[in-house]
Chains A and B, each alone.
Chain A
């Protein structure tokens, strides 16, 4: 298995520990990654796209064209990058007129969208390309007794007509992945609620209050930790817990994992090899529970 690695912005530039953990975990599964050296921001599906849709589409198309030239499918580590790149891919594949228009613009930079490189989210690679069976076989340290609340995030599920990853109202795949690690998926209220990251830049207090809504439900349900698949959701729930404490004096103490970290721990990598020391909400207490 070999992919063009699309790093995006938030993971390499604000959460490099997640890049490090993901590279180490994928290496254990024999997955080869080729860096997309000419890639830029995806671009951001909220700010840029809401000001000028065609600029957003042209820059996304350029990133897709870079992967076309590499002859590899794209692996994204972030829901935002996934939604941007996959929406651009589907739009340009299905709308011939738009494709022609965008390719005329890309030609000025000697690029062409050919539509050969498909866009895959990290969870798709684990769930579909590697598969639950292979993951179960690799587990050396089953996460027995650990109750994990899965937060999928919006832009891996919706719009479902384009992303087609899982049921937008009742997603199961991340829960199944959690189960494959020997942990117990913890169900909780408002599972598909948005983390609020899309509002952080515009209205940070409301954004944090949105994150709080879910943390309250996760705590009520009695989960030991959360698992996410997106760096924006990760920041909302990890660093967000400190921002909530300042705002409302509430203390949640719910460790938050990015999926590669939890998987990495289950297949026997050390906390050091996963950069687990860099979390704001410390994870040690939860890891001790496993042993």
Chain B
């Protein structure tokens, strides 16, 4: 990394980004919950506790810092944003009461809204809309279920497809089908 890359250029920051995060998350978790991000004093308990950070370049502390500095594009387009497993260890341990994991979720929601989500997650979502299960049945597992003496299809929406219509209706209302690129035929 060259020296110029380490310099944060003010014109490339969005000072309103942290307010955008708080505002977006307030509708889900309430304002008080979200405002805890401003209490972060960069102690690093989150990164030190992070099971993903042991193995990947994901650094919770860095995400918090960058969010507070307004480095919006960097935060929203970083690959590492998707490496949190949501284990909530940092959430439990933060000495400043920052609601880290929920804040990460909100930042991911904001990223997803502008199309910056993982293709793998979109695929899971499309399976949910198509089958009602994120991991649908296969012929192999029909056979295994039968061999065990269980019903070939589990007694869920897989056996009662009229319930799936309900779910699709809800998903359409939320416009979630558009978000994940679901098409009824394909």
A contacts, CB < 8 Å to B: 7, 9-10, 12-14, 16-17, 19-20, 35-41, 43-55, 58-59, 62, 95, 98, 105-106, 108-111, 154-155, 158-160, 168-169, 192-194, 196-199, 201-203, 206, 209-210, 213, 275, 278
Contacts and interface: CB of A to CB of B under 8 A. Distances in A.
B128 A41 contact: yes
Interface residues of B, number: 63
B67 to A, nearest CB: 16
Contact of A41 (B134, B145, B174): B134
Given A44-B134, A159-B88, A7 B124 contact: no
A55 B157 contact: no
10 contacts: A12-B150, A16-B141, A16-B154, A49-B105, A50-B105, A105-B170, A108-B170, A199-B56, A213-B51, A275-B148
Contacts of B171: 55, 59
B133 A206 contact: no
B52 A20 contact: no
A160 B52 contact: no
Given A35-B155, A109-B166, A46 B132 contact: no
A37 B163 contact: yes
Residue of A17, A49, A55, A168 contacting most chain B CB atoms (<10 Å): A55
B42 interface: no
A16 B117 CA distance: 31
Given A48-B128, A51-B121, A108-B170, A198 B87 contact: yes
Nearest to A39: B156
B17 interface: no
A145 B32 CA distance: 51
Interface of B: 28, 30, 51-52, 54-56, 82-89, 91-92, 101, 105-106, 108-109, 112-113, 117-118, 120-122, 124-125, 128, 132-138, 141, 144-145, 148-150, 154-157, 159-160, 163-164, 166-167, 169-171, 173-174, 176, 179-180
B137 A13 contact: yes
Contacts of B180: 51
B89 A51 contact: no
Contacts of B138: 13
B164 A108 contact: no
A20 B148 contact: yes
B85 A194 contact: yes
